[in-house]
Structure 1
């Protein structure tokens, strides 16, 4: 059956402005890549001022840290060695004051860093959750819950930590490196050249080691994600595992994933020790050389003792910041492994999106018109096509057809979790693609067969559909689904376990139905929503709903005896539009 020809409605256009490349975005592109910067830069943009403040504080702290070694030189040369008590006391007091100031700067920097980096992490996770919520059921079916949790937790944290470290700590390290190097040349140019001989050796080593670090970090994160996915799936399927007596099989799979993670962690730690040992060894060699050459200069009278002590202190400003910058560069490889995994979520294009200029919902009672609609979970292989149906406002319609024919998929199209492969669907005369998703999903309420109950109170669960719902409204919908007696003891404050495990299957279904009834819907979609409720009670609930919501459109999917759902005004048999021989 060929789908009906439809005419696409003109989409509004908006002016295209040339993209700007501010300094922050250019830096992020340099650090993480252009595609990743597309979603990371907007998240960092609100933190420009805090980042600038932290950057300025890090420069002030770096400048203040350059002072104590020079004051130490003055304490030794002009106080101790010169025998000047007044100079000794003065320089010691000044040294104490500078140290106290550096301590205050460090505390302020740490507190501000924690405050804003924690906010950035929250924004990053919220953006990832928003992107996941925007995906279609087809996308969700390809994911593992534990793997997504691993990306939202560990990978997002790694990206957030590096973002602040690179943009804040890197600047301070550069300043300390430049200042420390300058002071080395002030104290002894020849000895400074000897100290600089370390830099190219360390750079060469880390350049060779960086790709290995990336691979080790990727292996650890992949193994951790697989373990998290297995644990989440096991916890979610505890009931099935008990019934099958398959606990040992599940435990064995968890152990295998755990051993895989342990192996990856050990390999990564061995490599970390190697990359830590090499610079420590090079630093020890350099310090020994400086003490030998400088010590001979002090013995020969060519260099004051205070200058040698100050030189060794400033040597730390060369070695420490240089190793910090190299470690930051090396850490970018670990961050890239986390970023690549998070990017798979953040760069996933949703199948549907809000129109640029959505239309307001027109007045109406939930009339539906389906014209030439075709859809299949696999592109090019439709389940049904050419679907033509008109549902008047306030009608009660049964959606019939054998299992797997696409009934649940059609209901998902009505809430626009996906768009049809062909044809159009209209609500009260407006193409669903022209409506804001939030408006559409409040107007079209869906109650699936396996609804989810969240941990928290009964009121918390009910208000998910209507945050503004009052106590009287919630008690009314509980009465409609005959749950008012079930929670008589604790009322709306009754606490529900995660997933509603303390409720029976039928009670969970009725609670999910009650929750949907609080929404200001025009169309109510019931997808086997009372399949676990006995026939007599189902008939009473449906009769109450038909009386209470007679003016609203109701589409009901049922495989069992249709009579227990009451009378229907019409029936849509999806089998009439099924594709009997889908193309290869």
Structure 2
């Protein structure tokens, strides 16, 4: 089991920059409001400094200054509030775009990639990582922007009122710089490890729940419990590491905050006694320095959240790199656009040349397979369990790339076909089916949403499902929270969906295995009539499927050992003839 990739920090920064610049007008409004709010906040300390100096000179009327201070406080609150509202609107736009792109990327993941990675990692990315990124977009980024602008403008104000008074602020820079550098060098990797540990927990729990009957039957409860404990221990260690980072970093920067205020009072007082600065300037500088503490504290606090959000974004973009436009082999090579494939010839069918494939390095489950399937041909693939039948079916459907050799559809390599075109040209139906939450109609039209009710009815009739489907009603909710369908009914829905999509090549991997033999036989004959003219590759243990096929490919130990029509292979007296006699005898009995 391997995890999905994680995007590099360079990719994360580039993506964040593109997202920020995707809405330039809204971003400019947010920055302007925050800047005006921060500037309004500078007026108060400056006026207080003037007020202190006026009082020392004996000025009694301070009502105007007091009113101005109140006015600027109100202006700062209004501008900051408007800025936060504008930032929230912009953040939701960015977050919505990220969510939509992530869903698109997840749906575009090659099935082989999902099988290798398992469900735990993908579930964690679609839930916890999305939530962490949402928190960063909604809170961390706006707060960081406010703090950054406030710090920049406040330092500018310090320089304006007295360059000498800006020097004491530098006393905390070495400590803050060293602590921040130490933290950032470790935080990203730490949070990635922490997020990955949640994937392991989710993976272990989902496996245990999905295989609960097997766990109980084989008395594997103690072993699964130990697995969960190990995963929790690993997650605890990962969280303890990031907690240690925060425990060292945050108190260090909090302690550093006291130094600039003390330094400004002491050094500013000495400058005032020497007549180098005014009392108003010292007062304003001290208030500015005090005022810097809150935004610096917020900036450094939310920097931690940005690290968490950045790690989450790296995991989400890792899905994009692997599936959102990547090749089925999981490489970074992007799939071509729909208009980028030229030279396709529908008359060439499916060609397999010298194909080998291994789930693990050095252990090929397919070895040098050669096969030519003509358009419109019905081919049955049979053989003992473990012979490589299902693996070959997945390669034909583009789920896995071959380790060696080529698989072409209409003369174009499967890996060079755009994903939409591949899925609409070659469809794989297995014995594992999922009933999606929605109506019966929703489940049938997944691959062709614009289909009308007549087309849905014809598809359901083609798979012998119209009887129970019409009794339920096309608008009846099924799946989670709805009517529970039997495994056989779920299989019929999947086949009806396939009939409606109408691809030119179908790979059926035990697609009727959940039906009783008589119903399966009737269904396969109905499908054969509906799918006339289509290329059908049927992987089956029930040999009546092979009897009805144009040709039969017999597999054993990852190779095709016999190829021909049913009658030819029975007459040859080889492996297929033995299978036929064995099955026919059992079937007759």
Classify the TM-score, shorter chain.
0.7 to 0.9
Alignment of 1:477-488 (within 5 A): 477-488=459-470
Shift, 1:202, TM fit: 2.2
- 3-state DSSP of counterpart to 2:515: coil
Aligned position for 2:393: 411
Shift, 1:110, TM fit: 2.0
Pairing 1:109–2:86 present: no
**For the aligned residues, what is the CA RMSD?**
4.1
Shift, 1:70, TM fit: 1.8
Pairing 1:61–2:37 present: yes
- 3-state DSSP of counterpart to 2:474: helix
Contact residue 144 and residue 302 of structure 2 kept, 8 A: yes
Distance 1:265 1:494 in 2: 46
Distance 1:347 1:401 in 2: 37
Alignment of 1:56-455 (within 5 A): 56-78=32-54, 82=58, 84-85=60-61, 87-88=62-63, 90-155=64-129, 158=132, 173-185=147-159, 187=161, 191-214=165-188, 216-244=190-218, 246-247=220-221, 249-288=223-262, 290-291=264-265, 309-324=283-298, 326=300, 334=308, 337-338=311-312, 341-342=315-316, 344-348=318-322, 349-351=326-328, 354-355=335-336, 357-359=339-341, 368-378=349-359, 381=364, 383-393=366-376, 395-421=377-403, 425=407, 427=409, 432=414, 435-455=417-437
Structure 1, residues 298-332: CA drift from partner, whole Å, max 9, x if none? Answer: 99999887655533321134434444555566666
Normalised by the size of structure 2, how large is the TM-score?
A: 0.78
Q: 1:245 to 1:52 in 2, by over 3 A?
A: farther
Q: 1:122 to 1:237 in 2, by over 3 A?
A: farther
Distance 1:148 1:530 in 2: 29
Contact residue 55 and residue 168 of structure 1 kept, 8 A: no
Distance 1:295 1:440 in 2: 77
Distance 1:307 1:461 in 2: 73
Contact residue 197 and residue 235 of structure 2 kept, 8 A: yes
Distance 2:39 2:8 in 1: 29
Pairing 1:557–2:531 present: no
Distance 1:359 1:215 in 2: 40
Distance 1:303 1:41 in 2: 43
Q: 1:383 to 1:430 in 2, by over 3 A?
A: closer
Distance 1:81 1:322 in 2: 35
Contact residue 345 and residue 411 of structure 2 kept, 8 A: no
Aligned position for 1:13: none
Distance 1:577 1:232 in 2: 31
Q: 1:142 to 1:396 in 2, by over 3 A?
A: closer
Give structure 1 stretches of 5+ with no counterpart: 1-30
Distance 2:255 2:558 in 1: 75
Q: 1:304 to 1:42 in 2, by over 3 A?
A: closer
Normalised by the size of structure 1, how large is the TM-score?
A: 0.78
Alignment partner for residue 450 of structure 2, among 462, 468, 483? 468
Pairing 1:570–2:551 present: yes
Shift, 1:415, TM fit: 2.7
- 3-state DSSP of counterpart to 2:355: strand
- 3-state DSSP of counterpart to 1:451: coil
Contact residue 357 and residue 365 of structure 2 kept, 8 A: yes
Q: 1:115 to 1:154 in 2, by over 3 A?
A: farther
- 3-state DSSP of counterpart to 1:452: coil
Give structure 2 stretches of 5+ with no counterpart: 1-6, 562-589
Contact residue 526 and residue 555 of structure 1 kept, 8 A: yes
Shift, 1:405, TM fit: 2.9
Q: 1:437 to 1:217 in 2, by over 3 A?
A: closer
Pairing 1:497–2:474 present: no
- 3-state DSSP of counterpart to 2:508: strand
Distance 1:425 1:297 in 2: 82
Structure 1, residues 268-322: CA drift from partner, whole Å, max 9, x if none? Answer: 3354243222222232354345556667999999988765553332113443444
Shift, 1:370, TM fit: 1.9
Q: 1:107 to 1:318 in 2, by over 3 A?
A: closer
Larger deviation: 155-164 or 47-56? 155-164
Shift, 1:474, TM fit: 1.9
Q: 1:564 to 1:223 in 2, by over 3 A?
A: closer
Distance 1:181 1:568 in 2: 81
Shift, 1:143, TM fit: 0.8
- 3-state DSSP of counterpart to 2:198: helix
Distance 1:450 1:382 in 2: 21
Distance 1:576 1:283 in 2: 71
Structure 1, residues 110-169: CA drift from partner, whole Å, max 9, x if none? Answer: 233223333333433444454454444443232132222323444455567668989876
Distance 1:330 1:478 in 2: 54
Aligned position for 1:541: 523
Shift, 1:529, TM fit: 0.8
Alignment partner for residue 522 of structure 1, among 504, 511, 534? 504
Q: 1:174 to 1:242 in 2, by over 3 A?
A: same
Q: 1:33 to 1:467 in 2, by over 3 A?
A: same
Structure 1, residues 12-32: CA drift from partner, whole Å, max 9, x if none? Answer: xxxxxxxxxxxxxxxxxxx97
Q: 1:362 to 1:370 in 2, by over 3 A?
A: closer
Distance 2:481 2:116 in 1: 22
Q: 1:369 to 1:249 in 2, by over 3 A?
A: closer
Distance 1:383 1:148 in 2: 28
Contact residue 144 and residue 229 of structure 1 kept, 8 A: yes
Pairing 1:51–2:27 present: yes
Count of equivalent residues: 545
- 3-state DSSP of counterpart to 1:518: helix
